[in-house]
Amino acid sequence: MPTTPIETELDIQRFLAWEAKLLDENRLDEWLELLADDIRYFMPVRETVPLGPERPSSPATFALFDDDKSSIRLRTRRILSNVAPTESPPPITQRLITNILTEPTASAGEYRVSSNFIVHIERRGRHVSMFVGKRDDLLRRTEQGWQIATRRVTLAQTVLPMTISIFF
């Protein structure tokens, strides 16, 4: 496994903790600043089918999200507008980001980062949901700090407890 300097690993861990804090506090305008202009935010639907010789893996048939920065900006505007009934009042969320592994790429200042997450959501004090999964990110160091260039979110569950309007 390629090694990342410990200072860089700690910096990336702090960045991911800061990102989780911004999302948990619904500070989406600030969170948008952490996204690269060329970001791809992708979340495939998992398919549970028997695997066999003709089907060696379980590919995603379609994506729940396949966003660029402009579509992410539209989603955040909708969430912050109080027009979305599921977001008014905003849900209480708590994100735990764990098992963070970093790997340098061939490009200077870019790192592949994998992590696991748990997101607890409570809506209107009555509806509780939890999402568990993993993220595969490409983080890029810029003059402004770290930015997320790509994010692939893979949920552990195949049956969703609710519609997904949050970011992972």
Using pLDDT thresholds of 50, 70 and 90, give the confidence band for residue 1: low
Instruction: For the chain, give the percent of residues with pLDDT over 70.
Output: 85
Burial 47-84 (b: 16+ CB within 10 A, else e): eeeeeeeeeeeeeeeeeebebeeeebeebbeebeeeee
Q: Where do the domains of the chain lie, and which CATH numbers do they carry?
A: 6-46+62-155 (3.10.450.50)
Q: For 109-122, write each residue's pLDDT tens digit.
A: 999 999 999 999 98
Q: Which residue has the higher pLDDT, 46 or 143?
A: 143
How many angstroms separate the CA atoms of 78 and 87, rounded? Answer: 9
Please tell me the pTM assigned to this model.
0.87
Kindly report which listed range (28-37, 77-86, 109-118) carries the lowest average pLDDT score.
77-86
